[in-house]
Structure 1
Amino acid sequence: MGSIPFVAQSAPTKPLNIDTLFQPGGLAGRGPETTEWSPDGAKLSFVQRDEKGEKGELWYVDAATGEKKVLVSAAKLASLDPDVNKVKNEREKERLTRYHVAAYLWAPDSKHLIFDSQGQLWLYDLGTETAVQFTSAGDPSGDPKFSPDGKHLAYVRKHNLYVNSVSGKKEKQLTKDTGDNLFNGDIDWVYAEELAVRSNYFWSPDSKDIAFLHMDETNVPTYPITDWMPTHPAVEQEKYPKVGDPNPVVKLGVVDADKGKVKWITLTGAEDFYIPRFGWVKDGVIWAEVLNRTEDKMDLYFVDTKSAKPRLVLTETLEGAWFDFEHTEIRFLKSTGQFLWPSWRDGNMHIYLYSFDKQNPMAADAKLERQLEKGDYAVLGIKGVDEASGTVFFEANKDDPRQTHIYSVQLDGSGLKALTTEEGFHLADFSDDAKHYTQMYFGPQASPVLSLCSVGGACNPVWKANDEIAEYGLRAAKYLEFKADDGTILYGRLLLPPEGAASGKVPLIINIYGGPAGQTVRKSLPDPFDEILSRKGFAIFSVDNRGTPGRDRKFQTAIRHEFGAVELKDQLTALDQLLAQYPQLDKD
């Protein structure tokens, strides 16, 4: 390919610089926060703040009519859900934003909310529009969960489990370990960051018991983390295992929510393992995943909680690969003895349906019924299941690894269908009954829009971002393809300076991430910082080497036990091909 002309630029109406990039609300404006579905699927709630975050209201949209109303006024929300940017501790602020910690939770009756106001819990009655302080201990309480019958609330405080009646007058401490090394239902750094765990305890369907993970971090080495933001930096010691270091020792417990009696469960005789996911199959039976240290073998156990006896019902081994927990969430169906199991087994991430005896889960191994869909693409997450119609909804990058779309397929493996078509990213959040969903859409030519959609029906906008693409003259990068030394296609993007911004050879900035946890080449919003640099005469280039996500198993696992070698080779190979295609770039 020969030299091509510089990319034309639409006339911006607002100045683009570092100040506008980091202005309150950013270029797009402040979008909805903490979007949640009510348990009955009738309402979509979210917090909407002004650009500076000083005033916010909790709104809801009626899923059936589209009517939009204020649930909690700004005056009341100011104390119940203060702006996260006002949290002074930088590590706590990062925890809340990085792990999307919800500031409120719906009660099972869809008539009450529990707010976590910086460690103190408040119960809000939507009928009377009043809030009652639920906890007042000196230590913060977190990860609140209503029992399924709505009569009790459990939460974690100082690494221990507590339960209280919804009246707030009968608090009971269920676990009583002391010190900073023993966790009951709480989450440590490894499980939150590396295994994407967001909670470590779950109520039984009959509201009588709580299954929880116990963690012993005594032998995990510490690592000093310095907060440089304040005038006088502070040092915190984080339990942080490096390669070969001891991990937390874990075991499952089941505690009687009334009597506080704990029954411990031994799943395996192995000494070094993870329990990354667990939950309830039905009353009296829990399920648990056990992952080995090298993360290439997963066992699924069913456990009779009365006898504490486990049964191994499924084993999967990924030779030369690993289990990716962003995309391998097991999902049990509520009405039948079935569960969905995403797997890399055929070379791509796809969904498999297993069955078991719902009345007697301990009687036999889980049975593979079928693979629900197949093809040269990756399932990126199961988003919802409508059990009444037998429909599974999921996100995938079918036809283009640089995009994400929403799909549906029947439990019998028929009827694979795309729910979205526009170029870019479509991210879904389904109601519990999977009759409605939110869709966040954005792309190279489209600023973000959040819509409320009815399955099989219309999508109606709930929030529209500022048109940052037009207002600031953001240009989509040119999407390119290269070939690795083994013939594998590598995707890249290049943003050239606008006409007149550079003379002579164009200096090139290469933006490298290299994986394994994120793509840099996506058909997403144009990067405003890249645009700032390009207007100063630079070209910006990025390529996703082997090892980055969104591709097949072979592509992602090429870097296993070889961090750095394959990535650098692909970066340099793509760069050579780029310079040959675009001679106006300054290779020196």
Structure 2
Amino acid sequence: MLVSVDFPDLARRTAGFRNGAPYGVTVGADGARVVFLRSAGPYAASPDLWVLDVASGTERRVGGPAPDYGIDRDATVATWSHDGRLHRADLLSGRVAEVPTDGRTTDPQPSPDGTHLGYLTADGCLRVIGPHGDELLAGEPGGASWRDPGGVRWGSAGEPADLFGRARGWWWSPDGGQILACRLARAVSLHLLDLDGGWVDVHWDRETYPHLADVRWDDIGPPLITVLRRMQQHGLVLAIDPRTGETQVHAELADARWVEPVPGTPRQLADGRVLVGGELAHDGFDARCLFADGSLITPPGLYVRRVIGAHSRTGTPAGSPDLIVAGTDGEPSMQHIFRVRTGASGAGAEATPVTTEPGWHTAAVGGDVLVVDDRVWRGGTAVGALTSHAAPLPYRPAPVLDRVTDRRLPAGVLYPTDWVSGTRLPVLLTFGAGPGHQQVIADPAAWQERQWFAQAGFAVVSVDSRGTPGVAPSFEKAVHRRLADVTLADHRDALHALWGKHPDLDLDRVAARGVGLGGWLAALAVHRHAGLVRCAVARDPITDWGHTPTAYAERYLGRLADAPDVYAHHSLTDEPDTPDLLVVDRAFGLHQELDFIRRTIGMEHP
């Protein structure tokens, strides 16, 4: 069997599919405009900023290239930074101008009313451009620089933030008069900065709760933050008094393994209740849900992945918009969009599906406008669509999806397109990016690289073992303190279970591959399951968990000082060298990786 598409061409064509499609969609709060990124053509390297006028259905290119952007409340002003240069666009007139600054800029964000523009500098400062010019709002001597990236930084998210899904480190107040900003030194602190120069510290027990998991400052109510203990087994949802910086506890979060905040929470609802994500783990329930002041508002059968926003619709009580939520209802490979009632009703917790077609759906919301995938809806009526210039995908993968073993592990088997039943195939077991990242999803673009390997003569097997989101909280957290053993056992058992349904899988010729955490697992597999896994390729693997970011390591393994044996058991450093393991970095070519696997498991070259 021959590789039908050269890998560089596969990468180019897959990039063409992704680059030509609209993404990064946001909707103004008044629902008048939809802003998004899209490349000029399927193979253009950099995206441009576009705006859709909802009333007329017309799209306009605003400018670019724009790798990322920020908008004001009603999407009348947009800002972005390219090569360190700051740009501002009037989305009503279409005028775009470069804004002079003293140095390189990142993360520009206009104030909610569009009158001011804040941005971060390369030396760790937060600055604001307004009627009085470009002024320093927060920064200090000896801050970060290219010589000392570990110096003090204002407005940066910080290293552990991505573990909690927090991408930003500063936020405008709804009235545009204040900024809530992180200060990163050896730890994170939070401060309220007035545009006239005054400021107050946000007070919470940072020694007990050092992790700032989430921050939200919406039009309704005070700013809300989620803070976690170092071991992430307990957290608080706090409301901040924007005058004094004092905090008040709104909710507690607790889990014997780790707290997993739901992205998009906490947030204040229109009726004054505070929405938080949590888990239902009693009376036979095992669910990831939403609660409003302690009352369950989503059904236990819905695994809530993210709260997208509030959506006004005809027929709802004034001041009680629905929530738009991304979640999974039964099948982990699917992501659907749901409408959740927040107003008082006698129906109890309910969620109405917005999407019904199988797939991995996304959404954005503003006012009474809802964008689902590329379709734009207003008040239940389709009013337009975001145009896609995406190139056709190189392959149309058809993975055979299943749930296997008594643990009902999601799994997928991908065959070569010219495979004939009865032809035994060596197996390529993919660990992807490891636990915490699903592989078995209903998105054809996610299977392109795996189909390329399949075309080389493999049955490619992907398993979402315990430790992976999308099934249930207990499934996700079963790896606590035993990540390696649980994950490898699940993959071993899944392979044997799949062989019973796919007899052409040749379990005498199994190779493994993965990246990062997945690379670490692939390397462990060839050492600890050598009787099953013949060889492995590990790209940029974790080798010593003691050298990984502390918050990440402690979530899975606990403190190094408390459990050195656990860290030693999860380390690659003491494993013997073996010619059956190839450790490479991200620059290593996939053709070379393929050649190593073929040679090691005894496949004939095409």
Could you say whether these structures have the same fold, taking a TM-score greater than 0.5 normalized by the shorter chain as the test? yes
Tell me which residue corresponds to 1:565: 485
Compute the displacement of 1:514 (Å).
7.5
Among 398, 410, 421, which residue is 1:476 paired with?
A: 398
In structure 2, the gaps of 5 or more residues are 145-150, 313-318, 509-606
Tell me which residue corresponds to 2:300: 375
Q: Distance in 2 between matches of 1:439 and 1:41?
A: 14
Q: Distance in 1 between matches of 2:54 and 2:301?
A: 35
Q: Distance in 1 between matches of 2:292 and 2:339?
A: 14
The equivalences for 1:572-587 within 5 A come to 572-587=492-507
Among 35, 41, 49, which residue is 2:25 paired with?
A: 35
TM-score by length of 1: 0.75
The equivalences for 1:483-562 within 5 A come to 483=405, 487-499=406-418, 504-513=423-432, 515-525=434-444, 527-562=447-482
The equivalences for 1:346-385 within 5 A come to 346=281, 347-354=286-293, 368=294, 370-385=295-310
Q: Distance in 2 between matches of 1:128 and 1:547?
A: 49
> 2:72 matched to 1:136?
no
> 2:188 matched to 1:250?
yes
Secondary structure, counterpart of 1:516 in structure 2: coil
In structure 1, the gaps of 5 or more residues are 1-5, 7-13, 85-101, 218-248, 355-367, 441-449
Comparing 287-296 with 18-27, which one deviates more in the overlay? 18-27
Among 288, 293, 305, which residue is 2:225 paired with?
A: 288
Compute the displacement of 1:518 (Å).
0.8
Tell me which residue corresponds to 1:69: 59
Residues 314/537 of structure 1: CA separation in 2 closer, same or farther (3 Å cut): closer
The equivalences for 1:314-353 within 5 A come to 314-319=251-256, 321-325=257-261, 327=263, 329-333=265-269, 335-346=270-281, 347-353=286-292
Residues 575/31 of structure 1: CA separation in 2 closer, same or farther (3 Å cut): same
Compute the displacement of 1:318 (Å).
1.1
Secondary structure, counterpart of 1:567 in structure 2: helix
Compute the displacement of 1:135 (Å).
3.0
Q: Distance in 2 between matches of 1:199 and 1:583?
A: 49
The equivalences for 1:152-551 within 5 A come to 152-157=116-121, 158-165=123-130, 167=131, 169-180=133-144, 181-191=151-161, 193-217=162-186, 249-258=187-196, 260-268=197-205, 270=207, 273-280=210-217, 285-319=222-256, 321-325=257-261, 327=263, 329-333=265-269, 335-346=270-281, 347-354=286-293, 368=294, 370-386=295-311, 388-411=319-342, 412=344, 413=348, 415-431=350-366, 433=367, 435-440=368-373, 450-458=374-382, 460-464=384-388, 468=392, 472=394, 474-483=396-405, 487-499=406-418, 504-513=423-432, 515-525=434-444, 527-551=447-471
Which letter does structure 2 place at the counterpart of 1:451?
R
Instruction: Answer whether contact 1:579 1:585 (CA < 8 A) is retained.
Output: yes
Which letter does structure 2 place at the counterpart of 1:536?
A
Compute the displacement of 1:385 (Å).
1.2
More helix by share: 2
Which letter does structure 1 place at the counterpart of 2:172?
W
**Deviations 1:394-446, CA, capped at 9 Å, x for gaps:** 11110211101111121134552111111111111112x1x222222xxxxxx
Q: Distance in 2 between matches of 1:215 and 1:162?
A: 16
Which letter does structure 2 place at the counterpart of 1:304?
D
Instruction: Answer whether contact 2:261 2:277 (CA < 8 A) is retained.
Output: no
Instruction: Answer whether contact 2:137 2:195 (CA < 8 A) is retained.
Output: no
The equivalences for 1:107-146 within 5 A come to 107-108=72-73, 110-126=75-91, 129-138=94-103, 140-146=104-110
Among 13, 20, 45, which residue is 2:9 paired with?
A: 20
Q: Distance in 2 between matches of 1:83 and 1:304?
A: 36
Q: Distance in 2 between matches of 1:211 and 1:407?
A: 31
Residues 34/571 of structure 1: CA separation in 2 closer, same or farther (3 Å cut): closer
**Deviations 1:242-298, CA, capped at 9 Å, x for gaps:** xxxxxxx2222122211x122223311635611222344779954332210111111
Residues 459/511 of structure 1: CA separation in 2 closer, same or farther (3 Å cut): farther
Compute the displacement of 1:567 (Å).
0.9
Compute the displacement of 1:328 (Å).
6.2
Q: Distance in 2 between matches of 1:502 and 1:57?
A: 46
Tell me which residue corresponds to 1:95: none
| Percent of pairs with identical residues | 21
Which letter does structure 2 place at the counterpart of 1:114?
T
Residues 510/455 of structure 1: CA separation in 2 closer, same or farther (3 Å cut): farther
Q: Distance in 1 between matches of 2:222 and 2:402?
A: 51
Tell me which residue corresponds to 2:532: none
Instruction: Answer whether contact 1:161 1:175 (CA < 8 A) is retained.
Output: yes
Secondary structure, counterpart of 1:426 in structure 2: coil
Residues 82/528 of structure 1: CA separation in 2 closer, same or farther (3 Å cut): same
Instruction: Answer whether contact 2:332 2:410 (CA < 8 A) is retained.
Output: no
Secondary structure, counterpart of 2:50 in structure 1: strand
Compute the displacement of 1:206 (Å).
3.1
Which letter does structure 2 place at the counterpart of 1:541?
V
Instruction: Answer whether contact 2:339 2:353 (CA < 8 A) is retained.
Output: yes
Instruction: Answer whether contact 1:426 1:439 (CA < 8 A) is retained.
Output: yes
Residues 212/560 of structure 1: CA separation in 2 closer, same or farther (3 Å cut): same
Q: Distance in 1 between matches of 2:43 and 2:277?
A: 41
Q: Distance in 2 between matches of 1:27 and 1:110?
A: 28
Secondary structure, counterpart of 1:383 in structure 2: strand
Instruction: Answer whether contact 1:59 1:68 (CA < 8 A) is retained.
Output: no
Which letter does structure 2 place at the counterpart of 1:572?
R
Instruction: Answer whether contact 1:162 1:174 (CA < 8 A) is retained.
Output: yes
TM-score by length of 2: 0.72
Tell me which residue corresponds to 1:358: none
> 2:112 matched to 1:148?
yes
The equivalences for 1:97-116 within 5 A come to 102=68, 104-108=69-73, 110-116=75-81
Residues 42/114 of structure 1: CA separation in 2 closer, same or farther (3 Å cut): same
Q: Distance in 2 between matches of 1:327 and 1:269?
A: 22
Compute the displacement of 1:467 (Å).
7.5
Compute the displacement of 1:182 (Å).
1.3
Secondary structure, counterpart of 2:239 in structure 1: strand
Which letter does structure 2 place at the counterpart of 1:496?
Y
Q: Distance in 2 between matches of 1:530 and 1:489?
A: 22
Secondary structure, counterpart of 1:122 in structure 2: strand
Compute the displacement of 1:560 (Å).
0.2
Q: Distance in 1 between matches of 2:358 and 2:376?
A: 19
Residues 556/47 of structure 1: CA separation in 2 closer, same or farther (3 Å cut): closer
Secondary structure, counterpart of 1:53 in structure 2: coil
Q: Distance in 2 between matches of 1:26 and 1:149?
A: 36
Which letter does structure 2 place at the counterpart of 1:147?
S
Q: Distance in 1 between matches of 2:420 and 2:275?
A: 53
**Deviations 1:140-183, CA, capped at 9 Å, x for gaps:** 22222223333222222222221221x57352444434322212
The equivalences for 1:77-92 within 5 A come to 77=63, 81-82=64-65
Residues 154/16 of structure 1: CA separation in 2 closer, same or farther (3 Å cut): same
Q: Distance in 1 between matches of 2:205 and 2:499?
A: 55
Secondary structure, counterpart of 2:213 in structure 1: coil
Tell me which residue corresponds to 1:92: none
Instruction: Answer whether contact 1:501 1:535 (CA < 8 A) is retained.
Output: no
Instruction: Answer whether contact 1:343 1:351 (CA < 8 A) is retained.
Output: yes
Q: Distance in 1 between matches of 2:304 and 2:469?
A: 11
Compute the displacement of 1:501 (Å).
6.5
Which letter does structure 1 place at the counterpart of 2:111?
S
Residues 178/391 of structure 1: CA separation in 2 closer, same or farther (3 Å cut): same
